[in-house]
Amino acid sequence: MKERLERYKIFRILASIYRIKAVRILIPIAVIGLVYWEGQKELKQISLGRTFGELRRLPVEAVAKIFLFSLFSVAAMSLYDFMIRRHFRLKVGFWSTFRYSWIANTFNNVIGFAGLTGAGLRTILYKRSGVPPALMASAVVFLSPVVVTGLSILSWGIIAGLFPVGNIMQEHHWLIFAVWGMALYLPLFVLMQRSSLFAKWFNQGEERTPWTTVGISLSASLLEWACAGVTFWLIASTMLHNVPFLEVIGMYAVSAIAGILSMAPGGIGAFDLTVLMGLEQLGFPSERAAAVLVLFRLFYYIVPWLIGLILAAFELGSAAIRAGENADEGEEVPLNVWQRLWRWPGQFRFLSDLGVWALGKLVLVSGLVLILSAATPGLLYRLKLSEEILSMPIMRVSNLISVIIGFMLIILSRGISLRVHRAYVWTSILLLAGAVFTFTKAFDFEEAIFLLIVGVALWMSRARFYRKGAMVDFRNYLLWYVLTAVIAALYYWIGSHVHHGWLKHLPTADRIHFAVGPQAYALTALVGLAGAWLLLTMLLVLRPSRAVAAAAGPEEQGKLRAFLKENQGNLLTHMLFTGDKSFFWAQNDQVLIPYAKVRDKLVVLGDPLGPVTLVPEAIGKFQQYADEYAMAVVFYQATPDYLPIYHEYGYRFFKLGEEALVHLENFTLSGKKAADLRSVRNRFEREGYIFEVASPPFNDALLGELRKVSDEWIKGRREKGYSLGWFDKSYLEQAPIALLKSPEGNILAFASLAPGYDEGRTMSIDLMRHLSGTPNGTMDYLFVKLMEWCKEQGYEIFNLGNAPLSSVGESKSALREERLAALVFQYGGHWYGFKGLRRYKEKFTPEWEPRFLAYPSWVSLPVLTVDLVRLVSRRVPESSK
């Protein structure tokens, strides 16, 4: 029972770490599922082909009018930024404020997540204009409750009957509660703005929000939602004709509330299905209602976001801006409860370098545009003109090549986000070729212009693409294989369905002339998919993993031996002779950084070796080297002396445990505390057990005996690696081995030694193995004799090894992860004897020296922990077994 309670405590803490993430995912899924269940009848009535047919018949003048008013509606959202600029007296120019607002609002519209995307982007963008993150944090927190007040005002209009919504709320009762909840937010907001608690939490302790500011806030929000509603009405009136203005505004407000409650990006799903239900209740056909939604998403969300992507690509320079980092070292950004709950802004990893992230997404959109353009039929007059100038075979070949280029751009978009130079070169070529072929297939100059704009943005940012390659895990490649297959299937489905619906609207002669069967779309999809998979396979085979993670061979290890004659090592230096580590030489070979690769991380074993004065610059060089391949540098089992250096390079720390160091000058078996060890030594010596230390080279007979002991001790388990040695002849030949023999001369136990390479000052234990059935106290006797031998040889310190998680998270103010580690240490004896190992080593009265994990602030500690477990448990080389 007690053991079950102990496990429950551990699992409860683990659940507390991840339950918020689960809630963030489950709430949108649940709401979208609910709305889909409510609106499945409307969805079944939609014909994709007829929907695209409706879109194709739009006059150019109407498209231009919708486009311009949509841009105006998005621009109206900049009032929020001008409001906080005035309220917080931000010294930011007019045009800069407008640009920052456009980027933040368009990203927030598409990605959403309760407004936190816009909050994180504002912090980063305004930081470029010299606004301290602490002040900007207060500004975005002040802005957060303002945004939905305009929708709350519209909700009161619905309740008062000003905006009739038909029977939609009667048929779907949950919408009644949603509208009333949003309406009641308005008086709550006003009371909150005028409360002293709000002033303390949101106004940084200043006076209550003035009534004028409250009025401006309400006006700005009302204007935003009103403009969005009018944009929706303008699109609906263009597509549906004779649409009642007030009813459409009311229906839009109800749909927007549903979208906000779903917490999905852009309210996708809940908003769209509610709109479909509302428009069909007004008597409009489903395909036209779907066309209204497509146009609204395109002009109010996608097009402004693409403009925002281009602005972001030019706005942010090549310097990486880590989300959540502060402008000045040690400056703390105050976060409110809501931000801490949703872990803002650290969860948005794309904010680490928004400019390049934006370029990557522009390339991705370019590929999707090419594929979608090829899947949907062109305008009839353009098709006829293209056939007159070119020919139908050339148009169809151009269409096929456009699809292939689209797939390749989707693949290369990841390389653009990772700033790989070769991806930049290939993408630039493909964008130019895509612009040519999308123009020759049906005179689609809009797509061609967009591709050329993206190409120009890439060219102007060419200095950012400096990386030689990127370490992408095989599972990520598998994900891209699946993604491209899904896109190919969607291309075929959209093409066959849309084309069939489009043909119905053509005259009989044109219908026969431009008819393309489903087989043509299937063939094009297969060819495009084959091109994408070929490119993916080439990237997988030719990825530069060998150059980065090549293990040190005999020549490098010879160089290591020469290096150690001139420089001191540390307690982990002997592990470098296992042959599974790579060496990075810096500062004219005066500093050595040993590491191993796991996924997208280079994990350094211990601290760098060499003069301490040269280590900081060497770390910078190594980080630059890792960054060329989009990898992070992690220091495993770092010592306290080097923590200030790692801190200067932006590292965070997690305590791994403590190293047990016995000072041999104080080691003695006399006295009451050593009575047990003294008794063990006397008993083994009385019974005739033999202790000796064998020095290399070792004969085959001895190694054979040691192999038997080792195999029996392992019992078929896999040998550990990286920070631990394993049974390997060439490795064991590097240092002496302590042997414990029975009175008959048979080896019962052995321990290989690991010198500290510090001028004979330190000796460590490496492999410790014994036969089953050995007498009690066997390892105690072996340790005692070893320490006595080391003391005779002139060594000063004997290292008993690490006690994992020892003294971790004992303070109440410790990190949440360290407090979890403390519980594992306290109650994890069922899986691993953490406390028992600590108590055992305490018998030798060691001094405990802490060991740390140093990792970049943007690296996820739980993911890093899994990677480290994989690294240590990695299968040792076959030749070493």
User: How is 503-564 classified by DSSP, letter by letter?
Assistant: HTTS-HHHHHHH---HHHHHHHHHHHHHHHHHHHHHHHHT-THHHHHPPP-HHHHHHHHHHH
Query: What's the confidence (pLDDT) of residue 76?
Result: 92
- Are 358 and 310 contacting, i.e. CB atoms less than 8 angstroms apart? yes
Nearest to 627 by CA among 469, 424, 412: 469
Express each pLDDT in 211-239 by its tens digit: 677 788 888 889 999 999 999 999 888 88
The answer, yes or no, to whether residue 661 has pLDDT greater than 70, is yes
The answer, yes or no, to whether residue 91 has pLDDT greater than 80, is yes
The residue with greater pLDDT, 150 or 817, is: 150
CATH number for the domain formed by residue range(s) 660-859+872-880: 3.40.630.30
**Average predicted confidence (pLDDT) for the chain:** 75
Express each pLDDT in 119-143 by its tens digit: 777 877 888 788 887 788 778 777 8
- Are 568 and 611 contacting, i.e. CB atoms less than 8 angstroms apart? no
Express each pLDDT in 406-464 by its tens digit: 888 888 888 888 888 888 888 999 899 888 888 776 656 777 888 888 888 888 778 88
Query: What's the confidence (pLDDT) of residue 231?
Result: 93
Strand 762-770 to strand 797-804: parallel, antiparallel, or no bridges (unpaired)?
parallel
- Are 312 and 464 contacting, i.e. CB atoms less than 8 angstroms apart? no
- Are 767 and 710 contacting, i.e. CB atoms less than 8 angstroms apart? yes
Give the residue-averaged pLDDT of 524-551. Answer: 67
Query: What's the confidence (pLDDT) of residue 483?
Result: 79
Give the residue-averaged pLDDT of 839-864. Answer: 83
Query: What's the confidence (pLDDT) of residue 543?
Result: 58
Q: Please list, residue by residue across 73-110, b when 16 or more beta carbons sit within 10 angstroms of its beta carbon and e when fewer do.
A: bbebbbbbbbbbbebbebebeeebbebbbbbbbbbbbb
Three-state SS sequence of 702-741: HHHHHHHHHHHHHCCCCCCCCCCCCCCHHHHCCCCEEEEE
Express each pLDDT in 395-406 by its tens digit: 667 777 888 888
- Are 632 and 600 contacting, i.e. CB atoms less than 8 angstroms apart? yes
Ranges 45-49, 60-64, 644-648, most confident: 644-648
Query: What's the confidence (pLDDT) of residue 617?
Result: 93
Confidence tier at 374 by pLDDT (50, 70, 90): confident
Residue 204 has phi, psi (to 5 degrees) of 55, 40
The residue with greater pLDDT, 476 or 10, is: 476
Domain boundaries, the chain: 57-347, 357-543, 547-649, 660-859+872-880
Q: What's the Cα-to-Cα distance from 200 to each of 26, 85, 89, 189, 331, rounded to whole Å?
A: 33, 20, 18, 15, 20
Query: What's the confidence (pLDDT) of residue 779?
Result: 85
Q: What's the Cα-to-Cα distance from 849 to each of 198, 299, 693, 753, rounded to whole Å?
A: 47, 62, 28, 20
Query: What's the confidence (pLDDT) of residue 209?
Result: 66
Q: How far apart are CA 462 and CA 594, in angstroms?
A: 33
Nearest to 81 by CA among 152, 145, 137, 140: 140
**Burial (Cβ within 10 Å: 0-12, 13-18, ≥19) of residue 641:** exposed
What whole-number percentage of the chain has pLDDT above 90? 8
Express each pLDDT in 473-505 by its tens digit: 666 777 777 877 887 777 777 666 655 554 455
What whole-number percentage of the chain has pLDDT above 70? 71
Express each pLDDT in 673-722 by its tens digit: 778 888 888 888 888 888 898 888 888 888 888 888 888 888 877 777 77
Q: What's the Cα-to-Cα distance from 638 to each of 179, 301, 351, 606, 608, rounded to whole Å?
A: 56, 48, 29, 5, 9
The answer, yes or no, to whether residue 634 has pLDDT greater than 90, is yes
The answer, yes or no, to whether residue 3 has pLDDT greater than 50, is no
Q: Is 570 helix (H, G, I), strand (E, B) or coil?
A: coil
Query: What's the confidence (pLDDT) of residue 729?
Result: 85
Q: Are the folds of 547-649 and 660-859+872-880 the same? A: yes
Query: What's the confidence (pLDDT) of residue 230?
Result: 93
Lowest mean pLDDT among 53-62, 142-151, 554-563, 590-599: 53-62
Give the residue-averaged pLDDT of 538-561. Answer: 71
Q: How far apart are CA 681 and CA 782, in angstroms?
A: 9
The answer, yes or no, to whether residue 833 has pLDDT greater than 70, is no
Confidence tier at 819 by pLDDT (50, 70, 90): low
According to DSSP, the residues that pair with 652 across neighbouring strands are 855
Q: How far apart are CA 793 and CA 130, in angstroms?
A: 62
The answer, yes or no, to whether residue 762 has pLDDT greater than 80, is yes
Query: What's the confidence (pLDDT) of residue 376?
Result: 65
Ranges 4-8, 109-113, 655-659, most confident: 655-659
CATH number for the domain formed by residue range(s) 547-649: 3.40.630
Q: What's the Cα-to-Cα distance from 550 to each of 260, 557, 583, 599, 640, rounded to whole Å?
A: 51, 13, 9, 14, 29
Cα 823 from chain centroid (whole Å): 27
The answer, yes or no, to whether residue 380 has pLDDT greater than 70, is no
